[in-house]
Amino acid sequence: MNIVVLVKQVPDTWAERKLQDADKTLDRASVDVVMNEIDEYAVEEALKIKEAATASGGEASVTILTMGPDRAVETIRKALSMGADKAVHLSDDALKGSDAVQTSYALAQVLSTLEYDLVITGSEATDSRMAIMPALLAERTGQPQLSGARKVTASLEGTVGTVRIERQTENGYDVVEAATPAIVSVVEKINEPRYPSFKGIMAAKKKPLTNLTIADAGIDAAQVGLASAPSQVVEFSNKPPRQAGQIVKDEGDGGVKIAEFLASQKFV
Ligand SMILES: Cc1cc2nc3c(=O)[nH]c(=O)nc-3n(C[C@H](O)[C@H](O)[C@H](O)COP(=O)(O)OP(=O)(O)OC[C@H]3O[C@@H](n4cnc5c(N)ncnc54)[C@H](O)[C@@H]3O)c2cc1C
């Protein structure tokens, strides 16, 4: 079973993030970057499926796919050090500023060059938070989408594959099944991602990493990049600075003053 995991490098959730005045895109250069958190769960789930397949005598491989600038290789290395087998990195200056529709086009083009039974993604990236990539990819590839998985089981008999998920709902879960190849997005409940071991980190340095430009992947330059993005950020405003807090001096009536404050703010 061949599994592709989509992994995105995002600005550290705890870093202060800013849009740039010049082109209204996120300033990614001046902040620390990390693997999108939910993508760690996607990698973990792929590794578990691979382990289950190999334990029952089958074969499986896990390929990481990332679209992002050169430094996204750090995130790819992390996924490889967790245990993924190989990676594909789509990186090209022409992709800068691509919006979600264009990103899905570029990722689908790369997917069309790979052999896979399952694509596993996170359910949402913490920077743009559109939670739309799995659906866009399902539409572009014509493959079923199984979203919001809190459990995944996949089997392959000969060339016939099936994937079944428990889809997290507000009240419990739905069981959803599809034939492979399919696109599955996972939620954080699904597992506990492993930490890369020292051995894993060393091994990651030698694992195959394929670097692709848009030309390599057959991506039309006119369909990617900020200038031709179907959606544009037209305006933004920064968060207002935090107001100084109100200090209540306790002169025997501190409790009353706090209660009055809470009432004035309609908390009580
Ligand atoms: C005008 C404009 C300019 C933009 N410019 C840039 C830019 O220069 N650089 C940039 O990175 N973003 C840019 N973005 C944001 C970019 O469009 C989105 O990040 C991207 O389309 C994915 O959407 P999302 O992050 O909301 O992913 P979601 O749909 O929330 O992500 C779901 C899952 O999809 C997968 N995924 C998402 N993106 C990728 C990826 N790139 N590679 C691999 N897997 C992925 C991950 O598994 C993730 O967990 C821009 C957006 C706009 C509107």
The residue ranking higher by pLDDT, 68 or 21, is: 68
CA-closest residue to ligand 1 atom 8: 97
The CA-CA-CA angle for residues 45, 46, 47, to 5°, reads 90
96 Cβ below 6 A of ligand 1: yes
Q: In which band, very low, low, confident or very high, does the pLDDT at 185 lie, cut at 50, 70 and 90?
A: very high
Q: Atom 13 in ligand 1: which residue has the minimum CA distance?
A: 97
Residue 231 DSSP one-character state: S
Distance CA 197, CA 182 (A): 30
- How far is Cα 127 from Cα 148, in angstroms, rounded to an integer? 19
Strands 160-168 and 145-157: antiparallel
Closest residue CA from atom 7 of ligand 1: 97
Q: Determine if ligand 1 sits within 6 Å of the CB of residue 127.
A: yes
Tokens matching residue 157? 């008999």
Specify the DSSP element, H or E, that contains 212.
strand 209-212
Domains of the chain by residue range: 2-238
Phi, psi of 167 (to 5 degrees): -90, 125
Ligand 1 center–CA 157 separation, angstroms: 34
Fold of 2-238: Rossmann fold (3.40.50)
The closest residue, in CA terms, to atom 53 on ligand 1 is 99
125 ligand 1 Cβ < 6 A: yes
**What DSSP letter does each residue of 1-33 carry, written as one string?**
-EEEEE--EEE-TTS---B-TTT--B--TTS-E
pLDDT at 159: 82
pLDDT of residue 14: 79
- How many whole angstroms separate alpha carbon 156 and alpha carbon 66? 25
| DSSP type of residue 86 | E
Q: What is the mean pLDDT of residues 252-257?
A: 92
| Residue 263 Cα to ligand 1 middle (Å) | 42
Q: What does pTM read for this prediction?
A: 0.90
